[in-house]
Structure 1
C-alpha cells in the first residue's frame, strides 16, 4: 500500500505545473514586431508597428506590388480577422517564388508579427489558420520522366 500512496503524491506534483504556455510581447529596439513568413519558395520578412495602416512591400505600396485583387485580399485577411484595420504600419521584404507564393508568405509573416506584437490575437489568428505554414511545395523532377511524375508518351511502333 505504501507504493500506491507514493504514486498518488507524484500525480499531485504534476498537476501543479502550468498547463498552457504564456505568450509575451516580442519587440525590437525600435518598438516593432518582426516575423518571417514562408510559402512555396517565397520568404517574407515582416515588421509591424503602430501607425495609420500603411502596407509597404519591397518599397512599393501593396496595391502596386500585388496588382490582382485576390492577392490584396489574401494580404488583408489576418488584419481583417483580428479587427485591426488602420492600426498598424506594415513593412515587408519578400524574395523568391511567384506572386501567389509571395502573397501567402507575407500573410503568414503578418500573422506571426501581429501575435508577437499583441499576444491576445493568437487565438483568433490560429482559428483562422493564418499561423500555420502551408508546407506544400513543388515536387522535384525525376530522371527518366517528363515532369515530376508524368512519363514520356508511349509509342507502340
Structure 2
C-alpha cells in the first residue's frame, strides 16, 4: 500500500513539474541575470544599424544613448523559430518590441518582478514570428539595462 501511495505522489508531482515551462524559463533568466556570462552592447538611437542580441544564455548589458526625453536605445533580435519569448530586464525600463514590418508586438504578459529572484525588474512575454525584431528601451533615466532572453517551450511531450 505504501509503495502505491508513493508512486501516486511521484507521478502527480512529475505531471505538475512537467507543465512549468515559464517557471523553468524564469529560473534560467534569473541565473543569467545574476551570473552571466555577459556581453556589453551599446544600443543605437534608432532601429537602423541596431546591434544584435540573442536568446543564447547570455546577459546583455546594454548602454542606452541619451535622448531629449530620456535615455532611449534599440537592439535587434533575430527570431529563428516562431514562439513566445520572455525578456528579463535588470532595471525597470520601458520595453517596446516591433517586428520587421515596423508593427508593435503586443505583450501577452508584463510584470516588474519574478518570483524566482529579485534581480528581475521587468519581465515581458511576447509571441514572435520568424524574422528580425527591434527591441527599444526607454525613455528612462537609467543609462543602461541588463537583458536576458529565454524562449518558452509550449510542446508538452509526455
Alignment TM-score, normalising by the size of structure 2: 0.30
Larger-Rg structure: 1
Alignment TM-score, normalising by the size of structure 1: 0.30
